[in-house]
Amino acid sequence: MKTLSNKPKLGFIGAGFIGQIAHLDNYAQLNTCELYALAEMRTDLREQVSRKYGIGKTFAHHDELITDPDVDAIIVVTARSHTFEVVFDCLQANKHVFSEKPMAGNAEQAEILVQLAKKKGLIYCVGYMKRLDEGVEKAKSLFDNALKTQSLGKLLQISAKCYMGDSYCKASGNIISHESRPLMIDEMLLAPDWLDDDRKPDFARYLNVHSHILNLIRFFLNATPSVEYFNYLNPLAHVAILSIDNVLINLETGEVQQRDWQESCTFVFERGQLILELPPALLRNVPARVTLIDNLQNAEKRIFQPDWSWAFKRQADYFVRLLCNQNSNNIISGEEALIDIQLAESIWKKMVN
């Protein structure tokens, strides 16, 4: 494999709404990389987006892009049902890869990608950008310190929730063409075989929306909890009980018809609480809110306000720094994302069993 330059040349596969708003826009603001190539099946969209971002090479299909020897790394933002096959092709072509989540529809496929990247010595990242939110970073530092010093006593319980609402926050600036979206396979076909067909679409939805909160729980614990219970009343309401080291984790997930995104983690200690409240993903430059309640210090309540920043932009910078060997610890690796899918499957197996 060739040595990357200090300014890696990036290829992008997919130029839809999320591809533009959450990825292309952010990489374009970095002076540490070059937006070199774009693959997009919609002709008019491909031409307009490439002109906007000054992308010199364009392709109708990812098969063409991955053969370009000058492409150092590829950002894959395709329909979820095609993420696995496209990432596989990119890794097979010896390209470093960042893909949106989930990386695959089931753990078996995800394992294939992880092993392929490992075999070829490639960087593979998956878009769990909330680990790079400045508020999350602050909360993780406070959490680790509380565990180490026992300043708040023992950790007793974690209460986590994610209620998906309308989170688009008037996100704008993307180019819209009137071309039809390319045909795509039904993502339910990628769900685990052990699920009944009528449950497969629900699992695919759960994995897409709620793997973020699973990823965050694991990030704070530096470990994977076991699953005690799962109740899936309907596609809009579900509860899971997890546990680790005698700590119970109550996880509420669902979907609401509100202009809101309700996602939070409350870490309950013997003598205080740490509360992390996450913003809607597309709300630019608003990091997570962090509150620390210390009942030993005159019931002190401290609210931490990190700098205005956006997790998606910090993620883009993080991936480029990984490519340039400026980071050695990949906290958004394919290995981590694989464990999230395995945990999601373990949760759903509780319902099946």
pLDDT score, position 108: 97
pLDDT grade, residue 353 (50/70/90)?
low
pLDDT score, position 41: 96
Please tell me the distance from the alpha carbon of residue 156 to that of residue 153, in angstroms, as a whole number. Answer: 9
Closest Cα partner for 228 from 349, 66, 73? 349
Please tell me the distance from the alpha carbon of residue 267 to that of residue 250, in angstroms, as a whole number. Answer: 11
pLDDT score, position 272: 95
pLDDT score, position 297: 64
pLDDT score, position 276: 98
Would the pLDDT of 296 be above 80?
A: no
Tell me the pLDDT tens digit for each residue of 149-181: 999 999 999 999 999 988 888 888 999 999 988
In percent, how much of the chain has pLDDT > 70?
A: 97
Angle (CA) 269-271-277 rounded to 5° is 50
Residue 183 is which amino acid? L
DSSP SS3 for 152: coil
What average pLDDT score do residues 276-293 get? 96
Closest Cα partner for 322 from 310, 307, 334, 309? 334
Query: What number of residues does the chain have?
Result: 353
DSSP SS3 for 324: coil
State the CB neighbour count (10 A cutoff) for residue 36: 19
Please tell me the distance from the alpha carbon of residue 213 to that of residue 198, in angstroms, as a whole number. Answer: 24
pLDDT score, position 233: 81
Would the pLDDT of 267 be above 60?
A: yes
Would the pLDDT of 189 be above 90?
A: no
What average pLDDT score do residues 316-323 get? 96
What average pLDDT score do residues 120-133 get? 97
Structural contact between residues 249 and 224, judged by C-beta atoms closer than 8 angstroms: no
Taking each helix axis from N to C end, the angle separating 334-352 and 200-221, rounded to the nearest 10 degrees, works out to 120
**Bigger pLDDT: 180 or 331?**
331
pLDDT score, position 299: 73
Would the pLDDT of 121 be above 80?
A: yes
DSSP SS3 for 124: strand
pLDDT score, position 289: 97
pLDDT score, position 109: 97
Please tell me the distance from the alpha carbon of residue 353 to that of residue 348, in angstroms, as a whole number. Answer: 9
Tell me the pLDDT tens digit for each residue of 61-109: 999 999 999 999 999 999 999 999 999 999 999 999 999 999 999 999 9
Please tell me the distance from the alpha carbon of residue 250 to that of residue 240, in angstroms, as a whole number. Answer: 6
The Cα-based distances of 237 to 37, 67, 232, 256, 353 in angstroms read 42, 45, 6, 9, 19
Would the pLDDT of 225 be above 90?
A: yes
What lies within 8 Å, CB to CB, of 93 at 6+ separation is 66, 67
For 271-304, the DSSP string reads: TEEEEEEEPPTTSTT---EEEEEETTSTTEEEEE
Would the pLDDT of 3 be above 60?
A: no
What average pLDDT score do residues 311-337 get? 93
For 97-123, the DSSP string reads: EEEPSPS-SSHHHHHHHHHHHHHHT--
State the CB neighbour count (10 A cutoff) for residue 85: 15
pLDDT score, position 325: 86
Domains and their CATH numbers in the chain: 9-129+317-332 (3.40.50.720), 130-309+337-352 (3.30.360.10)
228 phi, psi to nearest 5 deg = -100, -35
pLDDT score, position 328: 72
State the CB neighbour count (10 A cutoff) for residue 223: 10
Would the pLDDT of 314 be above 60?
A: yes
What average pLDDT score do residues 274-300 get? 91
Give the mean pLDDT of the chain.
94
Closest Cα partner for 83 from 341, 346, 348? 341
Would the pLDDT of 193 be above 80?
A: yes
